[in-house]
Amino acid sequence: MRRVFVASAGLLKVGDHWEKSVGDLAIEAGLKALGDRKAERIFVGNMFSAALKQEHLGALVANGLGLVGMPACKVEAACGSGGMAVSLGYLAVKSGEFGSVLVIGVEKMRDLMPSASSDALAMAESYEYTQFFGGTFVSLNALLTSYYMKETGASRRELASFPILAHKNAVTSEHAQFRREISYEDVERAPMVSTPLGLLECAPTGDGAASILLVDEETIAEFDPPYVELLSSEAAVNRFSLYQRDDMLDFYATRVAAERALDKAGIALKDVSFMEIHDAFPVVAALALESMGVSKRGEAAKDAMEGRFDLGGELPILTFGGLKARGHPVGATGVYQVAEAYLQLKGVAGKNQVRDAKFGLCQNTGGIDTTTVVSVLRRVEG
């Protein structure tokens, strides 16, 4: 088995890219990571392309990158598509079958009308049941939020600490979609989307693409230290629909994937320097942290309000703005997270740099913890 390293990364600014297609975005991001190099395999994380009438993204992107003849395919796991593409890329290099693998996450959401975008997101849930009865992804998370507050006593104001923190970190994040701070009052005044979730508590739609080049231990020597090693990348699934679960406040897939990833990385949770978590909604961020054992049940929002997860806090999270402010081009999010972890561990995160960052953890979810991928990375001095 080989060691796996992130050799380079490419990030596009999340936002409105009206003049570019989903293929254009993926190719641009891929070129940023490749430079003048080639890759032996390509994985493209994406969820929405069928809604845009464009499938077969692997071949499309390989052609655009001039890598005809290389194996390439699209990877889909709802909003966890990017994380799953990273996991497959990791395994391809780890096995020794490939010395270099290009992983791209891409999504083109703004070309769709809001109703079509909502329908596409709902495909992460059951078509026969949830969608049939009109349940949207936002409404499901709104119900979960209400249940969480009732069961734990957490307040909406406490939960708002997550989007407020995300926006604070995004101010100095060049690839972020919304580079401005928000306040508790802004959250409370925002239009209601699905009670109790307002506009500023929901990750936005946006276009974007990110890429990473994964290489083996021999190839990484061609790059400059410090190096960033991808120690593990583990995936797990939960019972498919939220209402089927024995405990809706236990993100089982996140818990299992995190335990496996930390175990295979050979580190403990206390060793992690920072986390990029899947904060599509405040309650999702809270439950991710609680299920991984970072916070006690019902207390993650209080921890956030008290500054525990600030950039200079005990365990920084959402260091470039997270899903809420960096943006959430769904199939690309998991790759953005790993690319951001690479910047942190390489020590080139600029004003978003976490001091003395040695280990990073990325948690990317499809559905409501239906599929979760957790990846652990570390800084290697060379």
Condensed to tens digits (0 to 9), the pLDDT of residues 200-256 reads: 999 999 999 999 999 999 999 999 999 999 999 999 999 998 888 999 999 999 999
The CATH number assigned to the domain holding 96 equals: 3.40.47.10
328 as an active site residue: the answer is yes
Give the separation between CA 348 and CA 15, rounded to whole angstroms.
23
Q: Quote the pLDDT of residue 133.
A: 64
Q: Which secondary-structure segment (H or E) carries 344?
A: helix 333-346
56 as an active site residue: the answer is no
Residue 314, token pair as written in the block:
């005990």
Q: Quote the pLDDT of residue 159.
A: 98
For residues 242 and 368, which has the higher predicted lDDT (pLDDT)? 368
Closest CA to 167 of 304, 365, 303, 314: 304
DSSP class of residue 226 equals S
Q: 30 near 211, Cβ under 8 Å?
A: yes
Q: 87 near 307, Cβ under 8 Å?
A: no
Average confidence (pLDDT) over 103-119? 88
Q: Quote the pLDDT of residue 131.
A: 66
Closest CA to 166 of 377, 381, 368, 340: 340
Q: 318 near 324, Cβ under 8 Å?
A: yes
Catalytic choice (79, 167, 175, 202): 79
Most confident of 43-52, 115-124, 296-305: 296-305
- The confidence band for 308, taking pLDDT boundaries of 50, 70 and 90, is very high
Q: 339 near 89, Cβ under 8 Å?
A: no
The mean predicted confidence, pLDDT, of the chain is 95
Average confidence (pLDDT) over 153-161? 97
Quick check: is 232 in a domain?
no
Quick check: is 363 in a domain?
no
- What's the structural domain count of the chain? 1
- Asked whether the predicted pLDDT for residue 300 surpasses 80, the reply is yes
For residues 359 and 128, which has the higher predicted lDDT (pLDDT)? 359
Quick check: is 215 in a domain?
yes
Quick check: is 14 in a domain?
yes
Quick check: is 50 in a domain?
yes
Burial status of residue 1 (CB atoms within 10 A of its CB: 0-12, 13-18, 19 or more) = exposed
Quick check: is 55 in a domain?
yes
Q: 177 near 53, Cβ under 8 Å?
A: no
CB under 8 Å to 180, separation ≥6 — which residues?
A: 167, 170, 171
Average confidence (pLDDT) over 158-168? 98
Specify the length of the chain in residues.
382
The domain in which residue 60 lies consists of 4-112+205-222
Q: Which secondary-structure segment (H or E) carries 102?
A: strand 100-107
- Asked whether the predicted pLDDT for residue 107 surpasses 80, the reply is yes
With pLDDT > 90 as the criterion, what percentage of the chain qualifies?
89
Quick check: is 319 in a domain?
no
Whether the model pTM is above 0.95: yes
Q: 25 near 12, Cβ under 8 Å?
A: yes
Give the separation between CA 226 and CA 128, rounded to whole angstroms.
50
Quick check: is 61 in a domain?
yes
Amino acid at 26: A
Burial status of residue 336 (CB atoms within 10 A of its CB: 0-12, 13-18, 19 or more) = buried
Q: 171 near 181, Cβ under 8 Å?
A: yes
Catalytic choice (167, 175, 278, 328): 328
Phi, psi of 227 (to 5 degrees): -100, 160
Average confidence (pLDDT) over 88-113? 96
Closest CA to 30 of 2, 1, 70: 70
Q: Quote the pLDDT of residue 121.
A: 78
Amino acid at 34: L
CB under 8 Å to 306, separation ≥6 — which residues?
A: none
